[in-house]
Amino acid sequence: MDLSTTIAGVKFPTCFMNASGALCVTREELFALGRSRAGAIVTKSMTVEPRVGNPEPRYYGFPGGSINSMGLPNLGYRAYAELIPDLKQFGKPVIASIAGLCEEDFLTMARVINQALPDLIEVNLSCPNIPGKPQIAYDPADSERLLKRVRPLITVPMGVKLPPYFDPAHHAVMAEVIRRSGVDYLNLINSVGNGLVVDPKRETPVIKPKGGFGGLGGSLIKPVALANVRAFWKLLEGHMPIIGTGGVARGVDAFEHVLCGASAVQVGTLLVEEGVAVFERLERELREELVKRGKQSLEESRGKLRELPG
Ligand code: YRO
């Protein structure tokens, strides 16, 4: 059973890969992804300057999910520009994720990272805007202006990582922004923002930064991820490739993402919890799901969520 897939003309040997942020900051982590069964190597979102990130504890896994407020720890874009040629030697696509702290940062990084020729560049729109304003992705006009400025600077396919939206009006507005901005694929979704996990025994939050507020990931966000994949798949009429991210813990979760419209899926929380061996388990489980249902390929099920009869 072939689990390979194509996104924006780029062929992936399997549909499973790491979610940006999960085990993908350092050269060693990125090489471990290269040696693993992951279908691509996705970098941690990079910033112009290297960052150590927030104080620990800044990630916490619990039954059903995770919460994080990492604060963008990364090596800085110059280091990733140097690493990309080495990463390409693993013979699978390299996705470079960029996250500016202001609009100009995205442009600076896009120019230089493009020269290193990753297979795809992904713009993480979950980035701080002006303090006191919501993240860029929650401002459609700012999102459109940024994407339209980045697009002409790069020659490889451009993807956009979006946070979850919770209202059909927001899906509709952002789908139009995406349609007008030269976007080649979507990655849905980033973590569900600003949750709070409490340790009742200690009477504290479980992570230290931001008073314990952080992005939620893992199984508990799967329905939110599937809804966003489905909403954008429909609004963009099945013409926009989608990477589904959120709640992929078993093969069947990947199958659900594909039914909603995903061409590939990313694994964040479960990768952090299990390590790179998670990819071979997920491949085996997805193959079993497809065989059980008599499916010949992933493509056959893509977007084919059926309506309830009645
Ligand atoms: O804290 C992070 O580095 C982080 N965590 C996530 O779950 N998603 C992200 O996109 C990021 C980086 C961006 C930001 C949340 C720090 C603005």
CA of 69 to the centre of ligand 1 (A): 7
Q: Where does the pLDDT of residue 159 fall: very low under 50, low under 70, confident under 90, or very high at 90 and above? A: very high
Token pair recorded at residue 112: 């230089």
pTM: predicted TM-score of the whole model, two decimal places: 0.99
Is 71 a pocket residue for ligand 1 (Cβ < 6 Å)? yes
Whole-angstrom CA distances from 274 to 11, 28, 142, 257, 306 are 26, 17, 37, 21, 33
Closest by CA position to 228, among listed 215, 242, 239: 242
Residue 132, pLDDT score: 86
In a domain, 184, yes or no: yes
127 lines ligand 1 (CB under 6 A): yes
Q: Is 15 in the active site?
A: no
- Evaluate whether residue 137 is within a structural domain: yes
| pLDDT number for residue 93 | 99
211 lies in some domain: no
In the reported structure, the alpha carbon of residue 70 is separated from the centroid of ligand 1 by a whole-number distance in angstroms of: 6
**170 — phi, psi (to 5°)?**
-70, -40
Number of domains in the chain: 1
Residue indicated by tokens 């493009």: 114
Within-domain flag for 155: yes
Distance 99 CA to ligand 1 centre (A): 9
Residue-wise pLDDT tens digits, 174-193: 999 999 999 999 999 999 99
Residues in CB range of 281: below 8 A, 6 or more apart: 274
What residues have CB less than 8 Å from 239, skipping those under 6 apart?
A: none
Place of tokens 């990463």: 87
Average pLDDT of the residues of the chain: 98
Give the nearest ligand 1 atom to 45 CA.
Answer: 12
| 193 pocket-lining for ligand 1 (C-beta < 6 Å) | no
Query: Would you place residue 207 in the very low, low, confident or very high pLDDT band (cuts 50, 70, 90)?
Result: very high
* 147 vs 152: CA distance, rounded Å: 9
Cα(189)–Cα(225) distance, rounded to whole angstroms? 6
- pLDDT score at 129: 79
How close is the Cα of 263 to the center of ligand 1, in Å? 24
> Domain of 13?
5-57+72-195+219-300
Does a structural domain hold residue 242?
A: yes
The answer to whether position 44 is within a domain reads yes
Q: What is the pLDDT of residues 98-135, one digit of tens each?
A: 999 999 999 999 999 999 999 999 999 999 878 789 99
Q: What is the mean predicted confidence (pLDDT) over 82-92?
A: 99
pLDDT in tens, 23-70: 999 999 999 999 999 999 999 999 999 999 999 999 999 999 999 999
In a domain, 308, yes or no: no
CATH of the domain at 111: 3.20.20.70
Indicate if ligand 1 lies below 6 Å from the C-beta of 191: yes
Does residue 38 lie within any of the structural domains?
yes
What band does 235 get if pLDDT is binned at 50, 70 and 90?
A: very high
Position 131 scores a pLDDT of 79
Beta strands in the chain (DSSP E): 5-7, 10-12, 16-18, 41-42, 59-62, 65-68, 94-98, 120-124, 158-162, 185-188, 192-196, 198-199, 204-205, 213-217, 242-245, 264-267
Q: Does residue 67 have its Cβ closer than 6 Å to ligand 1?
A: no
